Amino acid sequence: MTLTKEDYLKDWQENKMRKPKIASLTLHCCVGASGEALERVKKIIESIAGMKTAETRAKRSFREFGIREGEPIGAIVTIRDEASIKKLVERLFYPRDNKIPSRNFDREGNFGFGIKEHIDIPGTRYDPNLGVTGLDVCLKIERPGFRVKRRFRSPTKIPMRHRISHEEAIVFAETELGLSVE
CATH number at residue 177: 3.30.1440.10
Confidence (pLDDT) at 171: 93
Tens-of-pLDDT digits for all 182 residues of the chain? 578 888 899 999 999 889 999 999 999 998 878 788 889 999 999 989 888 999 988 888 888 877 788 888 899 999 998 888 988 988 898 888 889 999 999 988 899 999 998 888 888 888 888 888 889 999 999 999 888 888 999 999 988 888 898 999 999 999 988 888 88
Confidence (pLDDT) at 1: 58
Strands (E), 67-110: 72-79, 99-100
Q: Residue 73 in contact with residue 56, Cβ under 8 Å?
A: yes
Alpha carbon separation from 52 to 27, 143, 165, 167, 175 (Å, rounded): 11, 27, 32, 34, 31
The whole-angstrom separation of Cα 80 and Cα 147 is: 13
Query: How many structural domains is the chain composed of?
Result: 1
Range of the domain at 14: 5-181
The whole-angstrom separation of Cα 174 and Cα 12 is: 14
Phi/psi at 54 (5° precision): -115, 155
